Structure 1
Amino acid sequence: MTDAPLFTRTDAALGTFSLRPVDPSPSSQLRSSRGGPIADVELLHGWVTHPKAVFWLMQDCDLPDVEKEFARIAADPHHDAFLGLHNGAPAFLMERYDPAHRELVGIHTAEPGDVGMHFLTAPTATPVHGFTRAVLTTVMDMLFDDPATRRVVVEPDARNTAVHALNKAVGFEILRTVSLPSKDAYLSTCTRDQYLAARGEN
């Protein structure tokens, strides 16, 4: 799998953000030698099981569980996972899905151009002001870079107040609270026009 980014955005304050597909290969297949590059799934296992990632709902997963999950996503025609880089270093995770077929089936009436999304920033002991919003802006820019995308749909945990504030800042509107198998969530949407208006470009 190529390491070439699929999308790149330059932030005036924080530098370069880019995304490439997650490589779901087991870690044993990616280490060329001792001290070689860490596999995506090994890296992501540390992220999704960190206490700060509690809303990602993978706290109890071991490495084989994470390998299996990202292999499943890679094989799913309605779901994709991307590794986000900040100035070339792994820094965030993004998932894109078709809400007509995944996550919100029977709960949200998907319209043509709807795209579902999740994102997660890597845990850090030295947070940078504005970083998570820059990540979300990069994610939204990538999604709307596809002219077929008309609206982004998200379903964050109702208790995740930090992400609700971020979503509002980039143009998301909460439609209603919905009950999903693993959580109560705020079903929220953001059209291309709402996103551009939030960025002051419309």
Structure 2
Amino acid sequence: MTAFETVFERHDDRLGHFALRTLGPGTDAALLHRWVTHPKASYWMMQDASLADTEAEYRRIADHPHHEAFIGLHEGDPAFLAERYNPAEVELKGLYEPRKGDVGMHFLCAPTDTPVHGFTLAVITTVMEFCFGDPAVRRVVVEPDVRNDAVHALNAAVGFDVVEKIVKPEKDAYLSTCTRERFVAARAAQGVFR
């Protein structure tokens, strides 16, 4: 059994305990494969990935100096995937003007037959708090598919502004940014002051 390290924890007043732990490409491959190939994960662009493809992708991320992946836990159970990356080196290299203190992120909620109202907002909030937990981070940068309306609404809810439409090899995306100040203001607007 692999010992996983918890790297971040937060309590949501409504939904309870959230945490991020290290990801084991071999150990977590079957779990990740179910998540990334599910029809609801179409924007993750791994619909046709085999189990071996999934393990190889997360091993590549684990070995990359500018990219990390984590398993997100809700009340101790695996419930989402989070990635953190340096957008000047991964995903957006050459596609935007990076600033000191930029960090990129991705998140994917596990498919469920019993959705919980507000869960996805709690997940993106957890990932944002994790990113801003590093005092060197000044801005979170994302590049969601232009067609992903659900994520655009979530991004706006936590303080992201769309900067511009960009063309990536695999998709057209909205380059969006959220400063620490905008995130804090968005949390305050939701009635959350910490």
TM range (shorter): over 0.9
| Residue 120 of structure 2 is aligned to residue 119 of structure 1 | no
For the 8 Å contact 2:101–2:136, the answer to whether it is kept is yes
Match for residue 79 of structure 2 among 91, 99, 102:
91
Give the structure with higher Rg (CA).
1
1:76 shift after superposition: 0.3
| Residue 53 of structure 2 is aligned to residue 65 of structure 1 | yes
1:21 shift after superposition: 1.4
**CA distance in structure 2 between the aligned counterparts of 1:5 and 1:147, rounded to whole angstroms:** 19
Structure 2 alignment gaps of length 5 or more: none
Q: What per-residue deviation string (whole Å, max 9, x for no partner) do you get for residues 58-99 of structure 1? A: 000000000100000000010000000000000000011101
**CA distance in structure 2 between the aligned counterparts of 1:54 and 1:133, rounded to whole angstroms:** 19
Correspondence 1:4-153 to 2 at 5 A: 4-25=5-26, 39-153=27-141
**CA distance in structure 2 between the aligned counterparts of 1:80 and 1:100, rounded to whole angstroms:** 14
Q: Which amino acid aligns with 2:13?
A: A
Aligned alpha-carbon RMSD (Å): 1.1
Q: Identity rate of aligned residues, in percent?
A: 60
**CA distance in structure 1 between the aligned counterparts of 2:175 and 2:38, rounded to whole angstroms:** 25
SS in 1 for 2:6: coil
Paired residues in the alignment total 189
SS in 2 for 1:71: helix
**CA distance in structure 2 between the aligned counterparts of 1:100 and 1:182, rounded to whole angstroms:** 18
Match for residue 158 of structure 2 among 170, 179, 197:
170
What TM-score, normalized by structure 2, do the two folds share? 0.95
Structure 1 alignment gaps of length 5 or more: 26-38
Q: What per-residue deviation string (whole Å, max 9, x for no partner) do you get for residues 161-190 of structure 1? A: 000000000000000100001100000000
Q: 1:30 — aligned with what?
A: none
1:4 shift after superposition: 3.1
For the 8 Å contact 2:6–2:20, the answer to whether it is kept is yes
